[in-house]
């Protein structure tokens, strides 16, 4: 059953498009890196935008990663995973991974998804090209609407060209007045002077702002220096509880190592217990079959002896030796029946 389960897992992962080949030898020994990689890939298949940290270098990171994946599968997919077996990262972890892959494989079969040789990079490129084409299509539609609006306005202006031509010729033919031109030039000069004054005021304000910003920067620098000095003093001082903390940390390491050893022994003993129960079940079934066969054989012999006994009673010329033999056989049959009944009761 374990080999069948593992073969099903490899076939499902290959059908789902997992880029790496998985063999049975990968799980002979605990391989947490491969299990974490497969779990992260399955989570991305369910929801690509999921933010699960892939760091599994330390023990705390591994525990956090297993908890995050189990919580995601329980809330989003409604699949309950055994975190202890996943943390073992061996053959027991394959059974837990099979729960997730079977759901994905079933969904792929029901929707009729064909197995394509296109990789994920090609699909992402295809999506990117499609998005760029959609943007180009929107730009083309906007340009077409602008062209139509510009064409309509140009048509209206060309219709007014006759009136505008007359006004243009009249303005050109009219003589230029010096007083009016001087007045317009003075107005333009005043506007330029106002803009120059506004620019000067803005420059003065910039200088004031620069000075205030420099003062703030100096103040922040002094605060930063004081904070750095305070940090150095705090780092140089060793806390009073640090020795006790290091001692407790060492004890915790020892306790964790003993916990791992006991957990492995417990798992091994559970496996032996399962094997022993399976062997006892097989032996019990075999004994039951043997008892059934023996009972049938005894019934057949009993019927045969009854028939032979009837024939012997009808015959008149029976010798005394034969009668004694029949009595011995009847006694043996009764003993066998009593033994079989006791066995069946047991």
pLDDT band at 254 (very low <50, low <70, confident <90, very high): very high
Write the pLDDT tens digit of every residue in 221-243.
999 999 999 998 888 877 778 88
CA distance 16 to 101: 8
- Evaluate if residue 1 carries a pLDDT over 50: no
The backbone torsions φ and ψ at residue 112, rounded to the nearest 5 degrees and listed phi first, read: 75, 35
CATH architecture for residues 1-109: Orthogonal Bundle (1.10)
Terminal Cα distance for the chain, rounded: 33
Give the model's pLDDT for residue 294.
Answer: 92
- Evaluate if residue 185 carries a pLDDT over 80: yes
Sequence-ordered strand ranges (E) for 111-177: none
Q: What pTM was computed for the model?
A: 0.33
CA distance 207 to 238: 49
Map residue 194 onto helix, strand or coil: helix
Name residue, tokens 């591994």. Answer: 62
Give the model's pLDDT for residue 319.
Answer: 47
Mean pLDDT, residues 75-104 taken together: 80
**In Å, how far are 161, 278, 324 from 154, measured between CA atoms?**
11, 93, 137
CA distance 267 to 259: 12
Write the pLDDT tens digit of every residue in 294-305.
999 999 998 888
The percent of residues in the chain predicted with pLDDT above 90, rounded, is: 25
Burial 72-92 (b: 16+ CB within 10 A, else e): bbeeebebebeeebbbbbbbb
CA distance 238 to 233: 10
The percent of residues in the chain predicted with pLDDT above 70, rounded, is: 81
Sign of CA dihedral 27, 33, 39, 44: negative
Write the pLDDT tens digit of every residue in 101-149.
888 888 777 755 444 444 444 444 444 455 557 778 888 888 988 999 8
CA distance 211 to 79: 64
pLDDT band at 318 (very low <50, low <70, confident <90, very high): very low
pLDDT band at 42 (very low <50, low <70, confident <90, very high): confident
Give the model's pLDDT for residue 82.
Answer: 81
Write the pLDDT tens digit of every residue in 279-289.
999 999 999 99
The backbone torsions φ and ψ at residue 78, rounded to the nearest 5 degrees and listed phi first, read: 60, 45
CA distance 60 to 53: 12
Give the model's pLDDT for residue 325.
Answer: 52
Of 1-10, 57-66, 132-141, 282-291, the least confident: 1-10
């Amino acid at each position: 059953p374990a080999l069948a389960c593992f073969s099903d897992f490899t076939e499902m992962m290959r059908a789902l498009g997992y880029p790496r080949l998985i063999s049975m030898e990968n799980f002979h020994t605990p391989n947490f890196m491969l299990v974490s990689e497969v779990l992260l890939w399955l989570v991305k298949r369910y929801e690509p935008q999921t933010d699960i940290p892939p760091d599994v270098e330390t023990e705390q990171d591994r525990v956090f990663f297993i908890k995050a994946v189990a919580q995601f599968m329980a809330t989003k997919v409604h699949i309950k995973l055994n975190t202890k077996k996943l943390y073992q990262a061996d053959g027991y972890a394959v059974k837990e991974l099979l729960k997730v892959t079977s759901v994905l494989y079933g969904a792929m079969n029901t929707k009729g998804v064909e197995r394509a040789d296109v990789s994920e990079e090609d699909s992402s490129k295809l999506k990117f090209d499609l998005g760029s084409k959609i943007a180009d299509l929107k730009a083309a539609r906007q340009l077409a609407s602008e062209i139509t609006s510009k064409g309509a306005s140009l048509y209206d202006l060309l219709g007014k060209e006759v009136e505008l031509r007359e006004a243009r010729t009249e303005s050109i033919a009219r003589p230029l007045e010096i007083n009016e031109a001087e007045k317009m030039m003075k107005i333009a000069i005043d506007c330029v002077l106002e803009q120059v004054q506004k620019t000067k005021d803005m420059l003065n304000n910039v200088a004031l702002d620069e000075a205030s910003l420099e003062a703030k920067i100096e103040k922040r620098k002094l605060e930063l220096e004081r904070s750095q000095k305070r940090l150095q003093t705090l780092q140089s001082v060793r806390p009073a509880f640090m020795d006790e903390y290091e001692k407790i940390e060492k004890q915790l390491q020892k306790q964790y190592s003993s916990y791992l050893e006991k957990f492995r022994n417990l798992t091994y003993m559970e496996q032996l217990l399962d094997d022993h129960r399976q062997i006892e079940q097989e032996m019990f079934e075999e004994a039951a079959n043997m008892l059934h066969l023996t009972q049938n054989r005894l019934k057949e012999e009993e019927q045969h002896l009854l028939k032979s006994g009837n024939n012997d009673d009808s015959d008149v010329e029976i010798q005394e030796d034969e009668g004694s033999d029949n009595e011995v056989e009847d006694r043996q049959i009764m003993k066998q029946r009593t033994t079989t009944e006791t066995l069946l009761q047991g």
